[in-house]
Structures are given as structure tokens and as C-alpha cells.
Chain A
Amino acid sequence: MKDKVIIKFDNVSFAYKAIADDDEMAATAVVDGFSLDVPEGQFLAVLGHNGCGKSTIAKLMNGILVPDSGKVTVDGMSTSDDEKIIDIRRTVGMVFQNPDNQIVATIVEDDVAFGPENLGVPPEEIRKRVDDALEAVGMYEFRGREPHRLSGGQKQRVAIAGVIAMNTKCVVMDEPTAMLDPHGRQEVMDAIRMLNKERGITVVLITHYMDEAVKADRVVVMDKGKIVLDGEPRMVFKNVEKLKALGLDVPQATELAYRLRKSGFPIADDILDEEECASAILRALEVK
């Protein structure tokens, strides 16, 4: 079942409506004719400049928002189907940007237990899941702490544990590292990678850090509510000029290789990280 699709966008359009206006003025589409298949087990990164609709896409993925036209299906269930909404949300979990606004309890382990409690899981089973989830993100020793005493990275790992404890098949993360320092970012990225590689959970990571996107299986680049680039990181980051025109960066190593090549240095155009870059430069120098 390698290619089973877990989240499917089928020609989806969505616009935010101003509630005060009766005559629906100026409701320009934020997402417009959007189609995307996310196969089970994939680590997908979504890139795009501010306001291009990334968060909107994320919220469409588990029925926080429902499409105006087109269809979003999660594991075969339509998000527009009210009866299925709980099943959809126990399949696709979500981690938001601001860790302070998604932690509900005054004790770490109580917060992790919140999801399974809502799903009516028996107490002993919740205990097991909570311990396991906290263990998985390396926050077990902090289980009795108060969340507001933790660092940003730790809070975000608690939020991830909260999703793991719900046994979701997929996790959507909307810029989970945007408010963190480099150390916290590293902690969270490690947790995300563990989730995907060890537990086989599908990950949709929305980010504006290129070095995070490089680690994904697939990168989707959005602009004005549409997909403009889609493929393996190596393929996507080849399009240095196009990405720059969209107001995005490329990984630093890619940028260096790009500039070298532009000034006539014979170096490959699919370089992603420092190591690849260094060895490519060495090879090129030896040939010379």
C-alpha cells in the first residue's frame, strides 16, 4: 500500500468571507483550483511567501475550514461531511506556530492526555499513550512540569506529543519552528523526522526555512493559492531564479553553487547541502 493517498485536494477553491457584509463583496479566493495528493508515509514540505495561502491549506486539511468548491478527502472521507469530522481529526493532527496558543492544560502530561480523553479512550490506555508519546519526543522527565516554564522548543515538542497520543496517521505542522531559536528548531526538526521515519506518520510541514524543506521527501512551492513547483527537493531547488522571483530563498549551499556556475565555474546544479557543495567544488577543481 505504498501509494495510498491519505490527503487529497481535488480542484479546491476557498475564500474568507467578511461576516459583516451581506453582499459578499471583495471575497477574493485565497486558494484557487488547488489539487494535491499526499501519499501515506510521505514527508512533504510546503513553501511559499507570506500570505500565499499556506495556513489556509493547512486548515483545509482537517476540516477547520471547508472548501467553497472542490473537495478535500482524508483517508476517503470528505471534510465537508459533518458526520465524519471527528474521524478526520483523529486521522490528521495539527501543530500550530505559536506553542502558547495550543496548550490547554496546566501540567504537561495532562495536556498530552487532552486528545485521547476527548476521544473517549480508557484511562489506562491514555496513560500508556501519554508516557509513550512523551518518551518519543524526549519530554518524559518534564511530564509533571507546568508548560509555561518550558522553552519554546520544549512546548512545541509537548504539542507534537499531544498529536502522537491521538494515534493520528498524519500530522500537519504550520510553521512549527517560526517562533523558536536555532536550538529549539533543531529539537523540533528531530522530533518531526522521528515521527516520519520511525513511526511512519505522514508529515506535512509548512515552513519558510529552506534547510528544513531540504530534508523532506517532496517539496511543494505555492504562490497566490496555487502550486507552482512540485517535486523532490533536488529538482525543486534547481529552479533558483524562479524561486527568487517568488520571493523565496534557496538553501545556502545551493545559492553558492548557483553563483559559482553563473560566473563560469563548472559545478552541478542540484546541490542541496554544504557537504555536497564542498565535494562538488573539490571535484571541479581536480578536473581543472
Chain B
Amino acid sequence: MIKDITIGQYFNGNSVLHRLDARMKIVLTVAFIVSIFFCKNFWSLGLMVLFTIQTVIISRVPLKMVLKSIKPIAIIVVFTSLLNIFYISGGTTLVDGRYIDITTNGIFTALFMATRIVCLVVISSMLTYTTTPTMLTDAIEKLLSPLKIFKIPVSTLAMMMTLALRFIPTLIDEIDRITNAQKARGANLDDGNFIQRIKALVPIIVPLFVSSLRRAIELADAMDCRCYGGPGRTRMKQMKLRFRDFAALAIMVAFIAGIIVLNYYFGAVLIK
């Protein structure tokens, strides 16, 4: 069961999105997220939804996996929508209750918020579905490298990220082992009230902490042996911007222009 864990949530594939340069993908994702909040009417919102759906289709990531990434935020979406519906005023009043009003503005805001959050999550998960963790950390390292002039140890931070990703499955494995060992010694982890259960975690966390420290020491020795911090770090996998990366950039620019034009042309949907 532990062996089935994927680090991050990479979906192995070979679509155009998979082959795009990771740096470009990060920049485009950020650009998309910013543009999301500029959608002011149903036309631009529709364009955004279309763009999102199209991206999912191009990525060839199965719909089931995409839906899985939305699941954890479903509650938040529903909750904020309800809050919006009940508390935003303005526009035409549809229901005039004693304590709460339901207005068109409320419903529209709720609809906009929900659509935006879903699109945001879907597009960000497209980034992680089509990019390996190694490529992601490498790209982040490259994108942040200008910060080096402020003496921020970008490479070290990227290495730490890689190691964290690398050790997640190992530590999960370890937790499993310690839990079983403590259960075999009669530890009761599943019963009792909240406080008791928290207390029951102590015999798991302490050994986990000790063994992690030991691992860290051994890992440091192993990295020393392989000359980490040596004469100059080159990379086997070079990142290179190709034609398709600029094409993707052009599409994103066109998309943002489309949003701006639609906003301007049709005006805002919310009535002040």
C-alpha cells in the first residue's frame, strides 16, 4: 500500500503540457491565477471556463483524477457560496426574509467565486499533474535565482525541497512501522476521547523524531561523500525554452487580452 504513493501528484504522460518547460508552466499558471480575478461578467467568466476545460483536454489527464483534485475544496466552495448568497446585498432582491435577503448580486458573487476557485484549483493541479517534482523544484530554483544577489541561498532551499519530497514516502513507511510496533506492544491508538488520542500519538512521534535525526545525519554523510557543495553544481537535465513554450505564452497573452476586451465590452455584472 505504501509503495503506491506518488510523490507530489505527477501523472505520467507525454502531452504538449508535459513537454512544456516547467518554468514557463509556472509563469503561465501564475498569470492565469491573476487573470481569474479580473473576470467581471459572464462572457469573460465563460472564456475562463472554456480555457480551463481546453487545458484539461490537452493534458490528457483522466477526468477522474482532475475531479479528485477538486474534492478537498468542495466544502470550502459550498460554504463561501452560501455566505455570499446570504450576506451580499445589492441588485434585485429575490427573497426578502426577516433576517436574510437573497439578492441577484449575492447569487452572482457566489457563482463567480465558486467558478473562480474551481478553475484556480484545476489549473494549478494541471501544473503538478504534468510536471515531475524534480522538474518543479529545478524550475523554482531557476526562477528564484535572481534572489541570489540578496544572499538568499536559493540552491540550498531547492535542495531542501527535493529532499523533503524524496523523504515523504520513506517517513510514511516509517510511521506505519512504528505504529504497528507500538500496537504490538499494546498501545491503544484508536479509542478514547480527543485528548487521549493526541496523547496516544506521543509514542509514535518521539521514535519518528529520533529516527529522522539519525536519517538526517546519515544522509548528510552520504551527500558529503558525493561532493555536495563541491566545485560547482552543473545539471544533467538542462532547461531550454523551445518554440512550443513561446506559443503557449502567446496563447496566454491572447487569453488575457480576451478577458480584458470582454470585460470592457460587456461591463460588470454586479450592480453597485
Residues of A within 8 A of B (CB): 59, 62, 64, 86, 89-90, 93-94, 96, 98, 100-107, 109-110, 113-123, 126-127, 130, 146-149, 162-163, 166
Contacts and interface: CB of A to CB of B under 8 A. Distances in A.
Contacts of A96: 218, 221-222
Contacts of A149: 3
Contact of B166 (A98, A106, A130): A106
**7 A-B pairs with the lowest CB-CB distances in the bound complex, closest first:** A102-B222, A120-B232, A113-B236, A101-B218, A148-B169, A115-B226, A126-B236
Interface in B227-256: 227-238
B3 A166 contact: no
Nearest to A129: B236
Given A146-B6, A148-B169, A102 B231 contact: no
Which of B229, B234, B238 has most chain A Cβ within 10 Å?
B234
Contacts of B7: 106, 146, 148
Given A59-B221, A106-B165, A113-B236, 18 more contacts: A86-B230, A94-B225, A98-B215, A104-B162, A106-B134, A106-B162, A107-B132, A110-B134, A113-B237, A114-B228, A118-B227, A120-B233, A121-B234, A122-B234, A146-B6, A146-B7, A148-B7, A148-B173
Interface string B161-190: 011011001100100000000000000000
B219 interface: yes
A89 B233 contact: no
A163 to B, nearest CB: 8
Given A102-B218, A106-B166, A123-B236, A148 B3 contact: yes
25 contacts: A64-B224, A86-B231, A89-B225, A93-B226, A96-B222, A98-B215, A100-B170, A101-B219, A104-B166, A105-B162, A106-B133, A107-B134, A110-B134, A113-B235, A115-B227, A116-B234, A120-B230, A122-B234, A126-B234, A127-B236, A130-B236, A146-B7, A147-B166, A148-B170, A163-B226
Nearest to B229: A118
A104 B163 contact: yes
Contacts, number: 111
A175 B227 CA distance: 21
Given A100-B215, A118-B233, A123 B221 contact: no
B231 A120 contact: yes
B157 interface: no
B224 A89 contact: yes
Nearest to B221: A64
Which of A86, A96, A113, A148 has most chain B Cβ within 10 Å?
A148
Contacts of A130: 236
For chain B, give the interface size range: 35 or more
Nearest to A101: B218
Contacts of B215: 98, 100-101
Contacts of B223: 104
B251 to A, nearest CB: 29
B237 to A, nearest CB: 8
Contacts of B133: 106
A127 B236 CA distance: 6
B218 A98 contact: yes
B156 to A, nearest CB: 13
A196 to B, nearest CB: 19
A119 B230 contact: yes
Nearest to B235: A117
B170 A102 contact: no
A25 to B, nearest CB: 23
Contacts of A59: 221
A20 B92 CA distance: 74
Contacts of B224: 64, 89
B209 to A, nearest CB: 16
A115 B223 CA distance: 8
Interface in B1-29: 3, 5-7
A215 to B, nearest CB: 24
A59 B225 CA distance: 9
A79 B132 CA distance: 39
Contacts of B233: 117-118, 120
A87 B173 CA distance: 37
B173 to A, nearest CB: 8
